């Protein structure tokens, strides 16, 4: 189809999940609740890791970065959707759509890279415990995060620039709640060959590559755990990476299900509904996954919220101590 002279369209229309007016308040309340839980949950993880000196380790450094990325991930899409529902306006400007697409791809790739880095961290901790502090030095941790940001920025910038060269028809409707790159490209009136090639090449290099690294790391971890003789040692080694493994399966499982299922269903609205799993639900569940099974995080959260049980235990111990009760002889040893 020949490109028309309408490259600079004014806006896109985000049709969202449903056009039924009676469902809009329910959708607004549901997504507002999930967004607030996501932001406050991940923010608590960040504050806990910063405030507790026991959590100043590579694993929790990467976890705090993942929490920050999850906040940015959901903040890229959900606030705009909530504003549109509240204002009863489905429009998003052309510049706003490109900007949203840029940050969405940025945070998706950051999630991808950080999960790979965290898998490598667990691999070193379990397979090379004596060399862990030497290998995972502070400068290497910072370098890995910086490289993740640089690669993700270049990737999202590439796709955004390729979309800017496309021409769009005058009436542009997206059957989604945000500017998803495949939806935007399919609405173009000009040739999208370069865009399709970039998406497939990036999927191989920046998705399959890190996923292969995660599988390799965990294959080595499993073989190392099986070599441990005691059952308690196996449980302790597995518990250190169980939370991360749960997040990996949740993110990659839901995202693959959405994009593989979209080729079968051929229904944009169903795809939009299914994509909520990896765009909203996964970032919301991450704080619960990492905190419910992690004693260090739970202890740091209790201290942060002023509910440290160790303070009460120490006070009770001192109160019951004979040398504390005996006011006449405080120098006597317990």
State the pTM of this model. Answer: 0.85
Separation CA 261–CA 259 (nearest Å):
5
Task: Please tell me the distance from the alpha carbon of residue 222 to that of residue 270, in angstroms, as a whole number.
Answer: 37
Name, in order, each residue with C-beta under 8 angstroms of 291's C-beta and a sequence gap of 6 or more.
45, 297, 298, 301
Question: pLDDT exceeding 90 applies to what percent of the chain?
Answer: 46
So what's the pLDDT on residue 316? 40
Is residue 18 in some structural domain? yes
- From 65-69, 166-170, 262-266, 290-294, the region with the lowest mean pLDDT: 262-266
Contacts of 175 (CB under 8 A, 6+ apart): 15, 183, 268, 269, 271, 272
Which two structure tokens, joined as six digits, stand for 82?
A: 């909530």
Domain containing residue 116: CATH number: 1.20.1070.10
Specify the DSSP class assigned to residue 4. P
Q: Does 321 fall in a domain?
A: no
CA–CA gap between residue 35 and residue 82 (Å, rounded): 10
Residue 225 within any structural domain of the chain: yes
pLDDT at 170 over 80: no
pLDDT given at position 74: 95
Rounded to whole angstroms, the Cα distance separating 138 from 124 reads 14
Q: Which single residue is written with the structure tokens 């990476």?
A: 241
Q: How confident is the model at residue 291 (pLDDT cuts 50, 70, 90)?
A: confident
Is 312's pLDDT higher than 50? no
- pLDDT tens-place string over residues 211-220: 899 999 999 9
Q: Are 151 and 291 contacting, i.e. CB atoms less than 8 angstroms apart?
A: no
pLDDT of residue 155: 94
Helices then strands, each counted (H, E), the chain: 15, 3
Q: Between these two residues, 77 and 260, which has the higher pLDDT value?
A: 77
Radius of gyration of the chain (CA): 25
List, for residues 232-285, the tens digit of each pLDDT value: 777 777 777 778 888 888 888 877 777 666 555 556 666 777 788 888 988 998
Residue 173 β-bridge partners: 13
- Asked whether residue 112 is assigned to any structural domain, the reply reads yes
- Expressed as residue numbers, the domain containing 23 is 11-301
User: Angle 98-104-107 (CA atoms, 0-180°, nearest 5)?
Assistant: 140
Q: Which two tokens stand for residue 20?
A: 């039924």
Q: How many domains does the chain have?
A: 1
- Residue 333 included in any domain: no
pLDDT digits (tens, 9 = 90+) for 84-142: 999 988 899 999 999 999 999 999 999 999 999 999 999 999 899 899 999 999 999 99
Decide if 39 is inside a domain. Answer: yes
Spatial separation of the C-alpha atoms in residues 12 and 26, rounded to whole Å? 24
Q: Sign of torsion, CA 234 240 246 251?
A: negative
- Specify the pLDDT at position 88: 87
Question: How confident is the model at residue 112, as a pLDDT?
Answer: 92
Length of the chain counted residue by residue: 334
């Amino acid at each position: 189809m020949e490109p028309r002279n309408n490259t600079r369209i004014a806006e896109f229309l985000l049709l969202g999940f449903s056009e039924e007016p009676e469902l809009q308040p329910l959708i607004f309340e549901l997504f507002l609740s999930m967004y607030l839980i996501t932001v406050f949950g991940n923010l608590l993880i960040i504050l806990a890791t910063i405030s507790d000196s026991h959590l100043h380790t590579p694993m929790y450094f990467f976890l705090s970065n993942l929490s920050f990325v999850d906040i940015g991930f959901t903040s890229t899409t959900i606030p705009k959707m909530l504003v549109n529902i509240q204002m009863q306006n489905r429009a998003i400007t052309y510049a706003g759509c490109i900007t949203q697409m840029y940050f969405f791809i940025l945070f998706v790739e950051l999630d991808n890279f950080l999960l790979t880095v965290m898998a490598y961290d667990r691999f070193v901790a379990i397979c090379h415990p004596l060399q862990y502090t030497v290998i995972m030095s502070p400068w290497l941790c910072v370098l890995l995060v910086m490289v993740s940001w640089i690669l993700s920025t270049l990737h999202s910038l590439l796709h955004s620039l390729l979309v800017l060269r496309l021409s769009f028809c005058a009436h542009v409707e997206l059957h989604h709640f945000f500017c998803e790159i495949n939806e935007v490209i399919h609405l173009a009136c000009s040739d999208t060959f370069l865009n399709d090639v970039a998406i497939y090449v990036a999927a191989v290099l920046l998705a399959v590559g890190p996923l292969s690294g995660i599988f390799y790391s965990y294959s080595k971890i499993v073989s190392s755990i099986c070599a441990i003789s005691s059952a308690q040692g196996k449980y302790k080694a597995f518990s250190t990476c169980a939370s991360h493994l749960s997040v990996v399966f949740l993110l990659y499982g839901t995202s693959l299900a959405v994009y593989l299922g979209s080729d079968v269903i051929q229904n944009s609205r169903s795809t939009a509904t299914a994509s909520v799993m990896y765009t909203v639900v996964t970032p919301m569940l991450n704080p619960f996954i990492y905190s419910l099974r992690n004693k260090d995080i739970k202890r740091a959260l209790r201290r942060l919220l002023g509910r440290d049980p160790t303070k009460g235990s120490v006070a009770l111990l001192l109160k019951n101590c004979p040398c504390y009760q005996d006011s006449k002889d405080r120098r006597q040893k317990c």
